[in-house]
Amino acid sequence: MSHILIVYEIRDQKIKKVSFEATSAGVDLANQLGGTASALLIGSAVKDLAPEAGKYGVEKVFLIEDGGLEKFSPDVMASAIAQVAEQVGATHILMGATALGKDVLPRTAFLLNSPLVQDIIGYQVNDGKVTYLRPMLAGKLHTEVSLSSAYHLATLRPNVFPVKESPSSPEVSTLQVELPAPKAVVEEILAEAGGKLDVTEADIIVSGGRGMKGPENWYLIENLAEVLGAATGASRAAVDAGWRDHAEQVGQTGKTVSPSLYIACGISGAIQHLAGMSSSKYIVAINKDPEAPIFKVADYGIVGDVMEVLPKLTEEIKKLKSE
Amino acid sequence: MNIAVCVKQVPDTETRPKIDPSGKKMSEEGVKWILNPYDEFAVEEALQLVEKNGGEVTVISLGPAAVEPTIRAALAMGAQKAIRIEAEENPADPLVTAKALAEVLKQGNYDLIFFGKQAIDDDYAQVPQMVATALDLPCATVVVKLDIEGEKLTVEREIEGGKEKLSLSMPAVISAQKGLNEPRYRSLKGIMKAKKIPIETVQVELASGQLEIEKVKFPPEKQPGKIVGKGADAVPELVRLLHEEAKVI
């Protein structure tokens, strides 16, 4: 019988949304395969979070609680997940394709002698066989992947799988595993000033390119982002010019994003940029050049100068929000 | 310091990919190949460390002889040695690649093993972590800052909305992210020198793959949208469409 184990990501004593997305996908996969889905919470004090997992339909919640987990170590977490998988007889292990999931799950995969399908955007079950859909070349192509390994491991791209509430009363149990001595330890988390929202987690992104003409004009992007509660992004041109930090870069040598709304300001739409953002649900392009390739992927376009359009857009959205 | 940098040959970022007639991979026809951009940061960091502390940098890549230009591109930046692990093609299963690399890396007694954080073709972002696990070494990924004091490493890795500071000790595996440094240009002198460096070829028995690519396809094409209008005057209509039609604001 299939047993889908969803590994939760907890930051600041809160479960990340992507873990619930992965839970909904995992529960669905369990239903399609005729199996069961469980949640795994790992940390120094995670018991209080267990009921939350019950909102999305898992049958069991497993806890690994250990004071030694207060200082986070990716290798220790990877080992704990592998041990739990063996103990509970998991067949599939799912986790969010976040900085944490992408770092930890490959290590678990190695320990279980199984490959990992990183960053999936879909899956399909045919006659009990699962194929996973994932992008390559930052989304220029999609691939359907199948596994013949003992375990199926996958990380799920945030913002792609819908969260479906399906309350259950899961049985909560604390498991014992042998935690190895950590090889690398997180000493500190250095948050960006103002607790900036990351482009990979944002529902709306306002992104700027060369057409912004310089970092001094970025307040236009930031103002719009603020009224929308959006993250700010940048094209490679803007990052390479030193206007913006690389953490904001969207595209093939930056981040691949799938927000509900992507507003491209003064971005021409080079193929490497389009690869990183064209799976956004809605795309707005503002560009002076009516021939810019960005308009080919945009749902709505305005041909015009970002310097004039952006302030007006910020003002109009402010008006709408106050209504 | 004895440093290894694992590199991969990938299609240039400007590539508009075509699909191979088999339907299971990207067509290689007419593709311009480059050194994986993230690997350049890895090579640069290794070179800077060796320039400061002495030692040598070995470039390692897995693939057919056709990947040698990419190995030479890394050598042209200043690396001293190169190893190519013979393989007919790039394995679809990253675990196979990781095992083969680990096999060769464990014989090299390296203080540090660098990778780019991911290859920009298959975007797996998992071989460095797997190699570290295979060799039982500490590993930090997506690293944007690295400091060394004796055997101790302090690194910063990029996470959502900030950075994580990790401590680990050598020997270790590091995967490099853009921002770690500014990769140097390949000088003509470097390119000429790289031509004379022998590339050692090693044979490793590849494990059988457990991941199969069943199909490669183009993503669903986006329907062309509409131009709402020109300049700031078009903004009210855009806001209306986003609110009433798309319902995203």
Instruction: Express each pLDDT in A211-235 by its tens digit.
Output: 999 999 999 999 999 999 999 999 9
- Domain span at residue B182 reads 2-202
The whole-number pLDDT of residue A196 equals 78
Query: Region B118-146: what's the mean pLDDT?
Result: 98
Residue A191 and residue A12 in contact, taking contact as beta carbons nearer than 8 Å: no
Confidence band, pLDDT 50/70/90 cuts, at residue A248: very high
Cα A224–A260–B230 angle (5° rounding)? 55
Per-residue confidence (pLDDT) for residue B224, from 0 to 100: 78
Nearest CA in chain A to B215: A144
pLDDT digits (tens, 9 = 90+) for B3-16: 999 999 999 999 99
Are residues A254 and A209 in contact, defined by beta-carbon separation less than 8 angstroms? no
Most B CBs within 10 Å, among A141, A157, A260, A273, to test the B interface: A141
The residue-averaged pLDDT of A82-102 equals: 98
Task: Flag whether B66 is in a domain.
Answer: yes
CB contact under 8 A, B95 and A110: yes
CATH at residue B176: 3.40.50.620
pLDDT confidence of residue A68 = 85
Burial of A184 (0-12, 13-18, 19+ CB in 10 A): buried
Q: What is the pLDDT of residues B14-56, one digit of tens each?
A: 999 999 999 999 999 999 999 999 999 999 999 999 999 999 9
Q: Is residue B189 part of a domain?
A: yes
* Residue B139 lies inside a defined structural domain of this protein: yes
Q: Does some domain include residue B129?
A: yes
How many domains, chain B?
1
- Domains of chain A are 3-174 (3.40.50.620), 204-322 (3.40.50.1220)
CB contact under 8 A, A270 and B14: yes
Q: Is residue B246 part of a domain?
A: no
> Do A299 and B121 lie within an 8 Å CB cutoff?
no
Which residues of chain B are within 8 Å of residue A254 when distances are taken between CB atoms? 178
C-beta of residue B60 within 8 angstroms of C-beta of residue B203: no
Question: Across residues B132-148, what is the average pLDDT?
Answer: 98
Tell me whether residue B240 is in a domain. no
Split at pLDDT 50, 70, 90, the class of A12 is confident
> What's residue B161's pLDDT?
87
Sort out which chain A residues have CB atoms less than 8 A from B20's CB and list them. Answer: none
Q: Are A211 and A266 in contact (CB under 8 A)?
A: yes
pLDDT, tens digit (0-9, with 9 covering 90-100), for B185-208: 999 999 999 999 999 999 999 999
Q: Which residues contact A253 (CB under 8 A, 6 or more apart)?
A: A236, A272, B13, B37, B38, B120, B178
CB contact under 8 A, A290 and B94: no
d(CA A115, CA A17): 25
Is B142 within a domain?
yes
Tokens 């047993």 sit at which residue?
A3
B22 by Cβ neighbours in 10 Å (0-12 / 13-18 / 19+) ranks as exposed
Say whether pLDDT at B118 is over 90: yes
Establish if B239 belongs to a structural domain.
no
Of the candidates A106, A249, A270, which has its C-beta nearest B129's C-beta? A106
Give the tens place of pLDDT for each residue, B202-237: 999 999 999 999 999 999 988 878 999 999 999 999
pLDDT (tens digit, 9 = 90+) per residue, A30-41? Answer: 999 999 999 999
In chain A, residues with a C-beta closer than 8 Å to the C-beta of B19 are 141
Q: Is the four-CA dihedral A296, A302, A308, A309 of positive or negative sign?
A: negative
| Environment class of B25 (CB within 10 Å of its CB; exposed 0-12, middle 13-18, buried 19+) | buried
Contact A272, A252 (CB under 8 A): yes
- Output the pLDDT for position A194: 61
* Mean of pLDDT over chain A: 96
Contact A185 B167 (CB under 8 A): yes
**Is residue B180 predicted with pLDDT exceeding 90?**
yes
* Contact criterion met (CB below 8 Å) for A71 and A97: no
Q: How far apart are CA B11 and CA A308, in angstroms?
A: 38
Write the pLDDT tens digit of every residue in A116-149. 999 999 999 999 999 999 999 999 999 999 999 9
For residue range A151-199, what is the model confidence (pLDDT) as tens digits? Answer: 999 999 999 999 999 999 999 999 999 999 999 999 999 987 666 789 9
User: What mean pLDDT, rounded, does chain B reach?
Assistant: 97
Q: Is A15 helix (H, G, I), strand (E, B) or coil?
A: strand
CB neighbour class for A251 (10 Å; exposed up to 12, middle 13-18, buried from 19):
buried
- Confirm if B238 and A313 have CB atoms less than 8 A apart: yes
